[in-house]
């Protein structure tokens, strides 16, 4: 028996080659049972609607050649699928490529996958066994091979043909499970059976990037129960399941490619197969509900222009010192008493920026008692005479002797052990940062802010080695997004060794998921990959917060999570940065002329300078 695209083995559904029609085959060999089964098969075929499926295929011929085969059959069924332009753009438009998908229904997703890849690549072929290959409208888009049944059954000539297609720059779409998703008594959800390593081996040998695709949903309860009685019952029900999908609208998610260099870094095809499966399984979480019932979003606010006295105060600070500058943008640092006319404007801009991402205090001005004993790094646009952003800096050696841990803003969110600051020494706390919308997601602006922060430290407070700051994650991120971020940050190489000394005041509740997340090391090994994974499962296509990505890129380590009920239930990740051990290239760029002296002060030698 051989596994096929529409089912599990030849004992269920076959096709009469002379007529191109599907029919149920007789699974029995002994004469008595075979004769009895032959008498029952016509009635069973009608019950399972095999004839209806054959009629759909026949009717689809009327829509060709205006449509390709899979589109013609989908059109005849009144079925369709939904995916975004951003998702489709993740499929390479040229060069070898392997597209792997889950197999939830056993028929219609094969048509949808063929249609989907043909929209991007006319050279696309879908790897199937012989049943679909005998349906005339589909033949030209298929590779008729039998490589999914395991090494003992793999056909050498078929493998060579498939590899040849990839090495000639073609796209290959495939369902690595080889059989339909189904339920088991040992798990509370429907899933693919184990994927074949064969596809991973072909991808490795051809150097093709691998694009994961996920179809939402699965067959119904009757199908799952039948399969628990006997796998062949699933097989014979597949024609009925295909017909039942008339007028269905499938949801499809497409992930970022697994690049050749990432595949090459994995030990073998088995490891690559595990990563492929994990990346496909993760996409199922795109259709999950939000993390919790968040408070309703706060309405946007109007921020009036900065008054003349505020502009004069900023100008005096700039005349005293410009920490860093780029074009019209200049950074200066000021104490609260120097910018009393600016602080209400800062409070309004903070609230505006935070509300735009689902956060916010709910007040007209986001100001608090910490502002008075913190310093403020200001981003001033000299061309437009406006404030583009600000950071708040608190210096532990000035605050702790007078006010203790509660004098730090982070002390209101986290509990520090008595020895935490003693072990670290001087710490600069960053917080309440914002960038106005015109300046967000501009790498040059973010880089300028980091230059301002570290050069303020290196020039005026060189004894401060550590930078501490909460990074907010908006409350409208979904539960799976939060779980992926949390798993990534809590890995040993990302979590700080000081983490046991910090506890949250309001814990992040992760919940017990029905469907477990794949292992995090199979999903993301860098901040960039983490950002990609969150984009893939976020319903709006958002990645991780910009500030979190920046912290991770410079080598920050995670300490703890906290939920801030006073700030629209925003989740904060407390991050710790070792100043002289910031990622070397980034350190050179942001510290500038202060790098060598600052690092040597803290016992870190500069062994190699990056080229300017």
Domain boundary among 255, 287, 319: 287
One domain, residues 278 and 389? no
Domain membership flag for residue 7: no
| Assigned domain for 127 exists | yes
- Write down the residue that tokens 């149920």 correspond to: 24
Per-residue pLDDT at 8: 35
Q: Distance between alpha carbon 349 and the CA centroid of its chain, in Å? A: 30
Which residues are CB-neighbours of 142 under 8 A, at least 6 positions away?
114, 125, 126, 127, 128, 132, 133
Same domain? 257 vs 378:
no
CATH classification at residue 458 = 3.40.630.30
Distance CA 283, CA 268 (A): 23
The region of weakest confidence among 498-502, 581-585, 588-592, 605-609 is 605-609
Residues 452 and 586 in one domain: yes
Per-residue buried b or exposed e for 421-438, using 16+ beta carbons within 10 Å of the residue's own CB:
beebebbbbbbbbbbbee
In a domain, 589, yes or no: yes
Establish if 210 belongs to a structural domain.
yes
Mean pLDDT computed over 130-135: 66
Where is the domain boundary, 287, 318, 338?
A: 287
Closest CA to 564 of 488, 512, 508, 511: 508
Q: Is 607 a member of any domain?
A: no
Residues 206 and 345 in one domain: no
Residues 246 and 343 in one domain: no
Q: Is 220 exposed, middle or buried (0-12, 13-18, 19+ CB in 10 A)?
A: exposed
CA distances, 52 to each of 38, 75, 146, 218, 219 (Å): 20, 15, 27, 21, 19
Tell me, what's the pLDDT at 138?
85
539 & 394 share domain:
yes
> In the prediction, which pLDDT does 150 show?
46
Mean pLDDT, residues 151-166 taken together: 73
The three-point CA angle 229-232-235 to 5° equals: 120
Position 294 in a domain: no
How much is the pLDDT for 27? 57
**Is residue 1 over pLDDT 50?**
no
Which tens digit of pLDDT belongs to each residue from 251-261?
999 999 999 99
Give the number of domains in the chain. Answer: 2
- Domain shared by 229 and 329, yes or no: no
Verify that 277 and 414 share a domain, yes or no: no
Mean per-residue pLDDT, 80-107: 95
Question: What CATH code is carried by the domain that includes residue 248?
Answer: 3.40.1130
Whether 273 and 353 share a structural domain: no
Q: Are residues 260 and 321 in the same domain?
A: no
Range of the domain at 419: 308-601
Helices 50-60, 69-77: axis angle to 10 degrees equals: 120
pTM for the complete prediction? 0.83
Using the 3D structure, point to which of 229, 257, 287 is the last residue of a domain. 287
The percent of residues in the chain predicted with pLDDT above 90, rounded, is 60
pLDDT at residue 107, as a whole number? 83
Query: Does residue 555 lie within any of the structural domains?
Result: yes
Q: Across all residues in the chain, what is the average pLDDT?
A: 86
Q: How far apart are CA 111 and CA 330, in angstroms?
A: 57
- Give the strand pairing for 427-435 and 466-473: parallel
Q: Dump pLDDT digits (tens) for 268-301.
A: 999 999 999 999 999 999 987 655 556 677 888 8
Whether 223 and 260 share a structural domain: yes
Q: CA–CA separation, 593 vs 591, rounded Å?
A: 6
> Is the domain of 352 the same as that of 226?
no
Distance (Å, rounded) from C-alpha 334 to C-alpha 514? 51
- The whole-angstrom separation of Cα 581 and Cα 584 is 7
């Amino acid at each position: 028996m051989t596994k096929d695209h529409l089912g599990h083995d030849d004992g269920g559904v076959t096709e009469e080659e002379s007529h191109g029609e599907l029919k149920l085959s007789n699974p029995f060999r002994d004469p008595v049972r075979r004769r009895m089964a032959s008498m029952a098969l016509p009635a069973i075929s009608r019950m399972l609607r095999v004839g209806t499926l054959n009629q759909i295929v026949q009717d689809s011929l009327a829509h060709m050649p205006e449509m390709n085969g899979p589109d013609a059959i989908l059109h005849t069924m009144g079925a369709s699928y939904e995916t975004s332009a951003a998702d489709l753009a993740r499929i390479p438009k040229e060069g070898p490529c392997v597209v792997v998908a889950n197999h939830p229904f056993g028929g219609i997703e094969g048509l949808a996958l063929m249609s989907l890849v043909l929209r991007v690549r006319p050279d696309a072929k879908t790897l199937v066994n012989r049943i679909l290959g005998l349906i005339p409208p589909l033949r030209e888009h298929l590779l008729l091979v039998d490589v999914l049944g395991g090494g003992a059954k793999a056909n050498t000539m078929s493998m060579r043909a498939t590899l040849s297609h990839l090495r000639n720059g073609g796209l290959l779409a495939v369902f690595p499970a080889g059989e339909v998703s189904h339920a088991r008594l040992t798990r509370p959800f429907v899933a693919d059976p184990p994927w074949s390593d064969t596809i991973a081996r072909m991808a490795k040998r051809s150097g093709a990037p691998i694009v994961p695709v996920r179809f939402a949903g699965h067959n119904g309860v009757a199908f799952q129960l039948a399969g628990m009685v006997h796998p062949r019952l699933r097989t014979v029900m597949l024609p009925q399941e295909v017909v039942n999908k008339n007028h269905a609208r499938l949801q499809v998610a497409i992930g970022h490619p697994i690049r050749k260099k990432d595949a090459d870094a994995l030990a073998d095809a088995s490891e690559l197969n595990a990563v492929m499966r994990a990346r496909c399984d993760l996409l199922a979480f795109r259709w999950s509900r939000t993390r919790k019932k968040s408070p309703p979003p706060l309405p946007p606010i109007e921020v009036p222009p900065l008054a003349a006295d505020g502009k004069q105060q900023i100008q005096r600070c700039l005349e005293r010192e410009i920490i860093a500058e780029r074009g019209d943008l200049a950074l200066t640092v000021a104490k609260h008493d120097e910018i009393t006319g600016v602080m209400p404007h800062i409070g309004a801009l903070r609230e505006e920026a935070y509300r735009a991402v689902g956060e916010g205090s709910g007040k007209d001005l986001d100001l608090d008692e910490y502002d008075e004993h913190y310093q403020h790094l200001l981003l001033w646009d000299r061309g437009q005479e406006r404030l583009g952003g600000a950071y708040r800096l608190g210096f532990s050696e000035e605050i702790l002797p007078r006010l203790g841990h509660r004098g730090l803003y982070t002390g209101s969110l986290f509990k520090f052990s008595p020895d935490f600051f003693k072990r670290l020494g001087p710490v600069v706390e960053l917080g309440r940062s914002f960038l106005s919308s015109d300046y967000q997601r501009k790498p040059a602006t973010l880089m300028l802010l980091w230059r301002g922060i570290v050069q303020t430290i290196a020039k005026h407070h060189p004894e401060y080695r550590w930078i501490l700051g909460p990074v907010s994650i908006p409350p409208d991120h979904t539960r799976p997004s939060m779980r992926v971020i949390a798993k990534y940050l809590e890995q040993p190489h990302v979590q700080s060794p000081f983490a046991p000394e910090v506890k949250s005041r309001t814990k992040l509740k992760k919940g017990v998921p029905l469907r477990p997340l794949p292992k995090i090391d199979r999903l993301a090994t860098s901040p960039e990959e983490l950002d990609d994974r969150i984009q893939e499962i976020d319903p709006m296509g958002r990645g991780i917060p910009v500030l979190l990505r920046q912290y991770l890129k410079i080598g920050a380590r995670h300490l703890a999570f906290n939920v801030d009920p006073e700030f629209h239930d925003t989740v904060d990740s407390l991050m710790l940065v070792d100043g002289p051990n910031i990622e070397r290239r980034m350190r050179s760029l942001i510290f500038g002329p202060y790098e060598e002296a600052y690092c040597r002060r803290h016992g870190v030698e500069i062994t190699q300078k990056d080229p300017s």
